[in-house]
Amino acid sequence: MAISVLFWLSMAASPGLFGESANRLTADEVAEGWRLLFDGTSVDGWRGFRRQTFPHHSWVLEDGCLKNLSSPRKNSFLRSSLRRLKHKLAGRRRRDLITLARYEDFDFRFEWKISPGGNSGVKYFILEERGRAIGHEYQILDQSRPDQDPDKKTAAFYDVLPASNNEIRGGEFNQGRIVVCGDRVEHWLNGEKVLEYRSGSEELKAGIQDSKFNDVPGFDESIRGHLLLQDHGDVVWFRNLKVLDLTGRCE
């Protein structure tokens, strides 16, 4: 019997897999089937949630990164009110980013840096048919934010399950990773697996029951959905976004 795909991928979880050059795949990664989701120079492959276009008013390209701009609410009340009204009239509401493709079994790796006091996240199992950007979320949070519950800290399944370690490199790029293989889901932070859960498990159902997602039908299930970068109104940078489709590779 072949060695478990998850085991093999875990052995390859060293920081070197991300590469020293941003937004590039190595020859080995290409051979393994990895796909680059962002090349550092274009926004091809991404669009706004429930939009067919890219929300350039809240996301920009900067130094080989996808950068989420600060929300108007971070400025003075008058300026923020005027900017929100201007954006609303122009049909330019702030938007999360989603991939064009959907994924079910996958290994998604990304690097991120968060601004001081910032909050963001990476979501998966996203369905636009739900009307809202509801999915399982890999939380991203600057550690200077005080008094956060364990299930709301970095690398946690936001509001549902805590991560075993949430120490980040403040002001630097960190490495995130989400693996979904069958009913098994893993969150990784800087080369360390910090959370593992199984879709449909009693542990997951209990966590959901105590969360704000307890009224979302089927929220404990793994589904084929989009990957999402959250627009939470705080400055955050993403780069080295790559995915390996594990369809047919999970036991």
How do residues 20-44 score in pLDDT, each as one tens digit?
578 999 999 999 999 999 999 999 9
Whether the per-residue pLDDT at 218 is higher than 80: the answer is: yes
Residue 74 DSSP symbol:
G
Residue 155 DSSP symbol:
T
Whether the per-residue pLDDT at 178 is higher than 90: the answer is: yes
Own/partner long-range contacts of 191-194 (Cβ < 8 Å, ≥24 apart): 191/13, 191/14, 191/15, 192/165, 193/10, 193/13, 194/155, 194/163, 194/164, 194/165, 194/166
In angstroms, rounded to a whole number, what is the distance separating the alpha carbons of residues 19 and 245? 19
Confidence of residue 3 (pLDDT cuts 50, 70, 90): very low
Q: What pTM value is reported for the model?
A: 0.86
Whether the per-residue pLDDT at 89 is higher than 50: the answer is: no
